[in-house]
Amino acid sequence: MTAVTGNVCGVTTQQPPVAKKVPSERTHHGDTVVDEYAWLLSKENPDTIAYLTAENEYTEAATAHLAGLRETVFTEIKTRTKETDLSLPVRKKGHWYYARTEEGKQYAIHCRRAVLDGETAPPVPADGAPLDGEEVMLDGNALAGDSEFFALGTLSVSPDGQRLAYSTDFSGDERFTLRIKDLASGETLADEVPGVFYGSAWSADGSTLFYLTVDDAWRPNKVWRHVVGTPSSDDVVVYEEPDERFWVGVGLTRSEKFILVECSSKITSEARYIPADDPSAEPVLIAPRRQGVEYHVEHHGHRFLILHNDGAEDFELAYTSVDAPGGWTTLIEHQPGTRLISVDALARHLVVSLRRDGLTGLRVVPLDGGSEYDISFPEPIYTVEPGDNAEYDTSVFRLAYTSLVTPDSVYDCDLDTGALTLRKQKPVLGGFDPERYEQTREWAVADDGTKVPISLVYRRGTPRDGSAPALIYGYGSYEASMDPWFSIPRLSLIDRGVVYAVAHIRGGGEMGRRWYEDGKLLAKRNTFTDFVACAEHLVKAGWTSADKLIARGGSAGGLLMGAVANLAPTSFAGIVAQVPFVDPLNTILDPSLPLTVIEWEEWGNPLESPEVYAYMKGYSPYENVADRQYPALLVMTSLNDTRVLFHEPAKWVAKLRATAPATNVLLKTEMGAGHGGPSGRYDAWKEEAFMTAWTLDRLGLAG
């Protein structure tokens, strides 16, 4: 391994780098803590950038021997991917809307084409070429230019099809600039609004656009109304949310009759509506917020559908009058163990997205008196969810389907008969044969006796004698479910004999709302112990051995990685932690940081509660670094990340180096990206190849 030597801004860049210590004290509930790396919070500090640069140089040198393998894996991903391709067109009124990619280009090109006379099914060119008569609405490559980062925050066509609202981010900090394009002339209008958040909603006539801005804590708190052709200085605040626990969203119903303004904390919500044909009207409250009650709204004819958890932990479906919103009348009663996720309202059918027994599902509810039914699928584990359904008056429902061995697939379901028609499956090139792989679900037993599902995919014929290498992935927060998904990059692991496992641990939503409740606040440790139980199950069941098992997780899943590194360091040969939330206590103690206040309902409020403070301090990875032999660690972060600030992984690595010097730890910082890492698809593949090569090296498969 090549040594990197020198000294920059107090940061010794020998092998490995050592960050300087600047003691900083904080005291809460009688507990005084000295944080020697708090100075890394400031990215304006030249010493911070010098430290991150030194770590990047060290990581580059320490992984130089993997350059060939990285290129091999990148080439595998690239050659398995159909680089020139086209998404399945979605019909909306008189156009088919779609996005396509071109070989050698990083970003999607967003297009539409007029529906031809008699055309009822979406056109699907086999070669991914542009459709005849194509109109390019927005070319991400042209917009990105030479920028290292590029992302869209909104992309919305007005109901009359004449205008396109779009917003762009060139740094990764998720602050977007909003613009409007005249689709008839191709001209970008003079309208420009900087500093907006994701999302937007058009009025019915396309004259008015609603958008969001954030407060200093990066919380979307204001809905604005912009009249096309007027300066942004004339824009009007339609709604402002003063409660720092609540995010605000804005959107247009599928019926295009109402603009919805929705406010949500982690456990409470409320919604208001504005008639889309009267955009200057004041928002009308549908139901006032009640602490602990969540409800979500969809418009359907003379009523608003209300999906809620009032006295219904796993949610039930009700409705209220559009003309005079008031009491809720139940349509689908609460059934414990069947978590209702969302409802899609079409003119003659409702389609309810749900999960039961750890699997997703879709239930069709005919509104003409016919019998309800669940759409069925043949595989033992899979993921199904609503697809792009832009039209309201239709009996065809588009759904997205995938599994660990089935590439992303789009079906149209005839809601009157239940018949499924496969419209498009993501191509996988290079001789991919799903019969070479197997998928299965097993159940680990947690410390308290809870059975925890694990989804596995592996090469057919993989031995069950503990000799196979494995990777186990986990998340376990925010009721986010890590449902089975297909991955082209994952094939580079599986084809080399690696067993890939997904641990569906508490804190996620895989097994319903109670599964989430039992992995948050003062039950958060269940998330970590569940993951360790899943890892131990893989070993006991003969899938792998501890010295051949890699763990991987990102964001809140990165907290999981840091926690299990402290909790069970001998259970893993290595850990990949992406944008990891590893300094949760210090972050949640500081309400001036982005997103802190809204997180109190997920983690607890350690400022107010000594019990929460002590509990969080007990599992915080940063607080519990000790002089022990950790597994090898690869830590990935981004300088412009707004969700998990870069200083958290930077501090963690600095403390690991000082406290546990025998640990093999690498820190790689993307200096021009945000929470999701590199934005271009080729750059993202290179990042994935970097992590895959490191993983294979730790598993002894780099040769």
d(CA 356, CA 340): 9
Residue in 167, 675, 679, 697 annotated catalytic? 675
Q: Which long-range contacts (CB under 8 A, 24 or more apart) does 230-233 make?
A: 230/191, 232/191, 232/192, 232/193
Among 342, 344, 377, 345, which residue's Cα sits nearest to residue 359? 377
φ, ψ of residue 341 to 5 degrees: the values are: -100, -45
Is 302 among the catalytic positions?
no
> Cα separation of 200 and 209, whole Å?
7
If one counts every other C-beta atom within 10 angstroms of the C-beta of residue 240, the result is: 12
Query: Two tokens at 412?
Result: 């149209």
Looking from the CA of 664 toward its CB, the CA atoms found within 13 Å total: 12
DSSP 18: B
- The catalytically annotated residue of 173, 344, 641, 697 is 641
* Catalytic hit among 555, 571, 620, 679: 555
Q: Which of 391, 321, 478 is nearest to 91 (CA)?
A: 391
What Rg, from alpha-carbon coordinates, does the chain have?
26
d(CA 388, CA 546): 42
Is 300 known to be catalytic? no
Judge whether 556 and 582 are in contact, CB under 8 Å. Answer: no
Cα–Cα distance list, 471 to 66, 249, 538, 540, 543 (Å): 19, 37, 10, 15, 11
Q: How far, in Å, CA of 286 to CA of 263, rounded?
A: 12
Query: Buried b / exposed e across 86-121, counting CB within 10 Å, b at 16+?
Result: bbbbbbbeebbbbbbbbeebbbbbbbbbebeeeeee
Contact 646, 639 (CB under 8 A): yes
Q: Is the peptide bond before 661 cis (omega within 30 degrees of 0)?
A: no
| Spatial separation of the C-alpha atoms in residues 114 and 401, rounded to whole Å | 27
Kindly state the tokens that stand for 91. 């019909």
Residue 495 annotated in active site: no
- Rounded to whole angstroms, the Cα distance separating 358 from 381 reads 9
User: How many whole angstroms separate alpha carbon 174 and alpha carbon 490?
Assistant: 28
> Which residues, in sequence order, are CB contacts of 186 under 8 Å at separation 6+?
none
Burial label for 702, CB within 10 Å (0-12, 13-18, 19+), is middle
Angle among Cα 497, 498, 499 to the nearest 5 degrees reads: 115
Let me know: does 189 contact 182? Beta carbons within 8 Å: yes
Task: Show which residues are catalytic.
Answer: 555, 641, 675
